[in-house]
Structures are given as structure tokens and as C-alpha cells.
Amino acid sequence: MKVAVVGATGLVGGVMLKVLEERDFPMDELLPVASERSAGRTIWFKRKEIGVIGMEAAVALRPDIALFSAGGSTSLEWAPRFAEAGSTVIDNSSAWRMHPDKKLVVPEINGHLLTAEDRIIANPNCSTIQLVMALAPLHKAYGVQRVVVSTYQSVTGTGMKAVQQMENEREGVAGEMAYPFLIDRNVIPRCDVFLDNDYTKEEMKLVHETKKILDPNIRVTATAVRVPVTGGHSEAVNVEFARDFDISDVKRLLRDSPGLKLLDNPLKDEYPMPMLANGRDEVFVGRVRYDETQPRTLNMWVVADNLRKGAATNAVQIAELLIAKGLLRSAQVL
């Protein structure tokens, strides 16, 4: 079993390596892959120093699984090359998510749809993953009709450059700017670029990806905001259902759902926060309560580590599911 991590020197790629090691992912050989300018660098994996290789060399080695976290343009160019060489690609960029022939997968929700014919599998956006994880059991029980979500997203979602900018600002050090204004002590109502409808690309990812994963009939509207934290993303979620619900039943469903952790005791100041989700793989849900302004509607607060379940861990879980279901066609025999 050969596993390639494409984008191994990046922020998410580094977390992918950490998750693979923590979960003792079954492999015989790890191939850290990056751009040609990064080839020759080294990474540490299971106490061994491994050299980073370029894309052409990685394709020639025909890994069984290629975990991609290298940006949309790279994925569009190279994911088909890996797939043609026999690899199963699990891509963390936005390149393939809304492609009609590519599956958008959160294992706990729709992993059962995967087949051996899926050679490029899309990993959803970080903010989408935690949202649909919380919505899925409730949609099955009550039928989600409309979702209003406001996000409070970690600067790690922008990348290393933004994290460094915030750290520089806190230390009073001049440095390269990821944003044209302060990140620290600020709240920025912009994640990704603005589109013609005045929503950002991140906001529309939440709309379209939620529909693709759960139900095309769900109405979703979103406001995505960048906040000066590094532990994970938070979301205030207002959900309108087709059927009445009891709040105690809602909490039971959330408590019993794989991958979710209900943390909901506000009188004791127990509720999800990025500092609690940091480094964890669960999606935390709390502040679950009735919306008192209209029927069949609730509010909840959803938090997850965007680099783990929101990116790296979800991708590794897809790979684990492929192995468990015997869906990998070995690239070595093609």
C-alpha cells in the first residue's frame, strides 16, 4: 500500500501526516509530495525523515491512494493524472466538489455511496463538514427545510500566511500580509472572494455543498466571518424543520450520532468553543434551544477543528472506508 500526500509541506498537508500517524493508517510506503520547488525538502513521519518528491515522480510511483491538499488548480491538473495511473484520489480542494460525476463525501453521512469506480473523491469544505454532521441526524428525523448559518472561522482556514500575520500583529512585528488589514483584534466579514451576488465563495460553498450532501431541497443562506482564533471554526445555526420536534429528542439524536459530541450545559458554562475542539476529531454541538419566534425551528452552536475533521481527518476517514469496504483497485497491478 503506497499513500501519497500531495501538498505535504502545507498547513493541511502537515495535519494529514499527523492524522495518518495517529490513526496508524495501514501503509507500506508514504510519499510526501509537493511542488517542484519544494522537492528535496524532508518531513518527519513515524520518527523517520522522508524526502519530499515532485508531482511527476509521484505519478510514476503509482500510489494506491493520493490525498490531495494543494489547491484547486493543482487538483484540476494533477488529480486526473494520478487517477489515470491507477490511484484513488481524495481531494481537499474545491475543484471537484460540485462536479456532477464526483461524490462529495462525509463518511458518517454518505460514505455508503462510494464504489470502486470512484477514482476522484471530493472532500467537502471545512465549514460544510461540521454543519452537515450536525444537520444529518436531524434531517432524517424531522426534515430540514431551511438553514441560516453564520460562521466564525479560524484564520487557519486562510493558511500559514494568515496565521503568521496574526502572530506578527500580536508581537508587534512587521511582516507579510495575507489580508490588507489587521486580523488580530478584528472580525472580517469575508472568507474567500466575493461573487457577483455579493456573497463570498465560502458562503456559496455552504449553500451548494449542503444541498449536494444532504438534500437539494434544503434552503441554505450563509454569512461567513473570519475571527482571530486558531483552534477551529464555529457556527451559529438556525434550522427550520418540516415536522415538530421535542428539544430533548433533538439532544438525544445529537448525543447518539457517530462523530458528534453534545456539550450543552449552559448553566455550568459548558458549551463548544474552538479552544476545546482544537486537536480533536469530533464535531461539538451545544446551545441547543427553541427559536421562540416561529414554529418547528431551533438554534444551535457547532464547533470543530477545521484542519482535522474539517479537512485532514475527513479525508483519511474516506481512505479508511475505501480499505474497509475493499474498494481500492491496486495501482500496482494496472
Residues identified as active-site = 126, 233
Residue 128 class from Cβ within 10 Å (0-12 exposed, 13-18 middle, 19+ buried)?
buried
Share in percent of the chain as helix, strand, coil (round to 5): 35, 25, 40
Alpha-carbon span 131 to 136, nearest angstrom: 9
Instruction: Return the number of other C-beta atoms located less than 10 Å from residue 108's C-beta.
Output: 20
The residue type found at 43 is I
Alpha-carbon span 277 to 54, nearest angstrom: 34
Residue 237's H or E segment, with its range, is strand 233-241
Residue 140's H or E segment, with its range, is helix 126-142
Over the range 293-318, which residues count as b (16 or more CB within 10 Å of their CB) and which as e?
A: eeebbbebbbbbbbbbbbbbbbbbbb
Sign of the dihedral defined by the CA atoms of residues 186, 288, 316, 87, in that order: negative
CB 12 within 8 A of CB 311: yes
Quote the crossing angle between the two packed helices 201-213 and 126-142, to the nearest 10°.
Answer: 40
